[in-house]
Amino acid sequence: MAEATAEPNALSLGPIHVDRLGKRLMRGDVRLDADAQQVDVLLALIQAYPAIVSKDTLIQEVWGGRFVTDAALHKTISELRKVLREACDGQEWIETRHRRGYQLAAAPGTGPIRVAEKLAQPDVPEVSATPRGRSPDAKSGSRGSLALFPVIGVMAVLFWFGTGWIGTENQARAPAVTSATTPATSPKPIEVPRVSADVQSRLDRMSAGDLVLTIRSAFGQDGALARAGIAELGDPRLAAEMPDHRALADKFAGIHAYRSGDFDQAMSHYSQALEGFVQSGNRQEEGNVLNNMGVLHSESGRDPEQAAIWFKRSRDIREALNDTTAVLASHKNLANLWLSGARFEPAREAVSAYVVAARLNGSAADQIDALLLQGDVALGLGEANAASWFEQAHELAVRAGDALMAASAQQRLGRLELRAGRPAEARARFQQALTLFEQSPDSHQRAIVLYNLANAEEALGDATTALAHYQNAETEAPDRHSSLAVDAALGRVRMLWRLDRFPEGESLLAQVNQRILMQDESLMTAAVNIHRSSLALMKNRPMAARALIQDARKLLGQSGDWDLLATLQEQEIWVHLALAEHDAAHSALERLEDQAKARTDQRVLDRLHQLGLLLQVARGSTADAYRNSFFGGSREGSRK
């Protein structure tokens, strides 16, 4: 191992060297993916150690006192934590002190920093559809390792209700793919970045195995090094040592493209990698690539059947290889895929398989996941025992000291409180979840908790606070095209209207509509169309409102998403009322009321009670409406 010269007053955090003058973080001679602002935040914490640094102090020292939102500060801290964690084998260096600020977790070091001879680092896992602590997106996977049942509630002119989230943000959408082995387009070669002569010399001398370790360690830390390593892995000199080195290079190129948001290239690289591994007989890597293709395709929101085919092929290979950990992940991926599309019966089958595998071979976290997944299926099917599953998961997570899992269970319980018509209790659950997430190294769920808090404030009638939470949730979502970001933007639209800021809300809705035009995501488009239908009603254009609702219903197809279907039916009732179609409104209202009672959904029943009163007034039965107004949530008097 080569010795390094000491820099005067050099600072270090474990293996990381903090370059104060160059505003860089280095591990050996590899520069970590941290910007100058993040380095300044770290320096402020180092200089203050062991004291706590308040948010105001950080803003003053790093941003010079300029106006900075809490969301922007949190994002900087979150990204810095991720860089440090990945470079230090999971060690946490920054702790959140609730309501007080941030603190360095351990004393920094000083003196010379040693540089490793090799760039190789320990292995990292393959791409997974549901990394630990993450639920599927409600449309792709938690719409959000935890499953998210798909929950979308939008609005019906007067009665606002936001989309439910309990997992994490969705990724950018992937393209449709029709073949499991043939790419739609030839992948572009990996662009070889400029690296130092010393680094390139080391790469040139590395074995294939060391290159693989180096590439995996560079993901998330040094993109240039990862790309250079991938290019070197494709070099013909490695053919004798590793016959399928080109296929492996294509697999890593696919992962790199996936993480960069270039899904067309990712699928093309994966397809070439799959062909190579099939030819070489490398079954383990064949299963890995099929899994990655399933992840990529499931996130497109199109053709879940194809994603399921790839997941099942991957699972079968892993079972044949007796890779129990990978089999467990395959079962979870399938469960999340079906949950994301509100396909609850196949989801139940996949969850059952996951539960059995988790009991036999899973960790405590896997068993908590199993409880959450069972609750998600029960909730999606309208069964009464969903809360029991979530409570068990929360209890087990607390006993295991797993803050992330406990927070995920709290979020689900909060959604149940909202459904039961108890927004204050829901808000308390979400606030507890936020506190728990602050104790976890995984900060990606914060945007989802903020979104759920906004839902609770909206239900409580605090439009100003809800608007702020929706804004922060949209800001902290990782991709402005993700389902979470779009749902948060729709929440902002509703709150702007409620605050009598109609032009702003209308303008924002138009922007959101433009944002989703190229995404071909049916549930997201349906939600936007329901909002557009509401706007048409507010402009006294009921026929236009009806056309938009009809489009939304076509987009939903056979979806089992109860919240979105309920909201759509409420909007249809409003259209009937606007067109004086009283009998049709009454029939639609009774149908939806029966469905809501079967699901014990008090939110919908409360809104239908108000709609029933309006219908009675429209029919000229003002006395009946006045009498029934004393019986909140019950419409038996209007069934005449």
pLDDT 10s digits, 435-468: 887 765 555 578 889 999 999 999 999 999 999 9
Q: What is the chain's mean pLDDT, rounded? A: 78
Residue 191: predicted pLDDT: 66
Residue 155: predicted pLDDT: 34
Residue 589, phi then psi, degrees to nearest 5: -65, -45
By the 8 A CB rule, do 608 and 577 touch? no
- Residues 208-221 have a mean pLDDT of 79
SS3 state at 344? helix
Cα–Cα distance measured from residue 538 to residue 545, given in angstroms and rounded to the nearest whole number = 9
What is the tens place of the pLDDT at every residue in 281-300?
A: 999 999 999 999 998 877 65
Residue 476 has pLDDT above 60, yes or no: yes
Cα–Cα distance measured from residue 632 to residue 587, given in angstroms and rounded to the nearest whole number = 20
Cα–Cα distance measured from residue 34 to residue 20, given in angstroms and rounded to the nearest whole number = 13
Q: How confident is the model at residue 105 (pLDDT cuts 50, 70, 90)?
A: confident
Looking only at the bridges linking them, the beta strands covering 30-31 and 94-97 are: unpaired
CA R_g for the chain: 26
By the 8 A CB rule, do 344 and 381 touch? yes
By the 8 A CB rule, do 327 and 315 touch? yes
Dihedral (C-alpha) 576, 579, 583, 584: value to the nearest 10 degrees? -30
64 dihedral zone (left: phi>0; alpha: psi -120 to 50; beta): left
Cα–Cα distance measured from residue 135 to residue 147, given in angstroms and rounded to the nearest whole number = 4
Residue 436: predicted pLDDT: 82
Residue 444: predicted pLDDT: 59
Say which range, 11-20, 364-373, 583-592, has the weakest mean pLDDT: 11-20
More confident residue, 494 or 258: 494
HSE at residue 60, side-chain half, CA atoms within 13 A, is 5
More confident residue, 95 or 519: 95
Residue 584: predicted pLDDT: 94
Token digits of residue 579: 């067109």
| First CA to last CA distance, the chain | 87
HSE at residue 148, side-chain half, CA atoms within 13 A, is 35
What is the tens place of the pLDDT at every residue in 526-535?
A: 899 999 999 9
Residue 277: predicted pLDDT: 94
- Residues 141-158 have a mean pLDDT of 31
Residue 344 has pLDDT above 80, yes or no: yes
Q: How confident is the model at residue 169 (pLDDT cuts 50, 70, 90)?
A: very low
Residue 627: predicted pLDDT: 66
Cα–Cα distance measured from residue 402 to residue 324, given in angstroms and rounded to the nearest whole number = 23
By the 8 A CB rule, do 605 and 582 touch? no
Residue 10: predicted pLDDT: 55
Residue 185 has pLDDT above 70, yes or no: no
Looking only at the bridges linking them, the beta strands covering 101-104 and 30-31 are: unpaired
Cα–Cα distance measured from residue 52 to residue 503, given in angstroms and rounded to the nearest whole number = 44
Q: No. of H helices and E strands in the chain? A: 26, 9
Cα–Cα distance measured from residue 302 to residue 370, given in angstroms and rounded to the nearest whole number = 26
Say which range, 154-158, 422-426, 498-502, has the weakest mean pLDDT: 154-158
Best-predicted range by mean pLDDT among 20-29, 98-107, 109-118, 278-287?
278-287
Q: pTM above the 0.85 mark? A: no
With a CB cutoff of 8 Å and minimum separation 6, the contacts of 453 are 427, 430, 431, 434, 469
HSE at residue 360, side-chain half, CA atoms within 13 A, is 12
Q: How confident is the model at residue 597 (pLDDT cuts 50, 70, 90)?
A: confident
Cα–Cα distance measured from residue 388 to residue 393, given in angstroms and rounded to the nearest whole number = 9
- Cα–chain center distance at 355: 23
- Residues 617-629 have a mean pLDDT of 71
- Residues 337-344 have a mean pLDDT of 82
More confident residue, 369 or 192: 369
Helix (H) / strand (E) containing 299: none
Cα–Cα distance measured from residue 159 to residue 616, given in angstroms and rounded to the nearest whole number = 18
Q: Which of 392, 321, 330 is nearest to 358 (CA)?
A: 330
> Is the bond leading into 50 cis (omega within 30 degrees of zero)?
yes
Residue 248: predicted pLDDT: 93
Q: Which of 281, 273, 342 is nearest to 126 (CA)?
A: 273
Residue 32: predicted pLDDT: 84
Residue 299: predicted pLDDT: 66
By the 8 A CB rule, do 14 and 91 touch? yes
Say which range, 18-27, 39-48, 113-122, 397-406, has the weakest mean pLDDT: 113-122
More confident residue, 193 or 160: 193
SS3 state at 151? strand
SS3 state at 441? coil
Best-predicted range by mean pLDDT among 2-11, 135-144, 236-245, 559-568?
236-245
Cα–Cα distance measured from residue 70 to residue 78, given in angstroms and rounded to the nearest whole number = 12
HSE at residue 30, side-chain half, CA atoms within 13 A, is 31
The sign of the torsion formed by the CA atoms of 342, 348, 352, 355 equals positive
Residue 129: predicted pLDDT: 40
Residue 374: predicted pLDDT: 94
More confident residue, 9 or 307: 307
Which residues pair with residue 11 across a beta bridge? 18, 110
Best-predicted range by mean pLDDT among 114-128, 177-191, 496-510?
496-510
Cα–Cα distance measured from residue 484 to residue 521, given in angstroms and rounded to the nearest whole number = 13
Residue 264: predicted pLDDT: 81
- Residue with structure tokens 């693989």? 212
SS3 state at 155? strand
Cα–Cα distance measured from residue 283 to residue 267, given in angstroms and rounded to the nearest whole number = 19
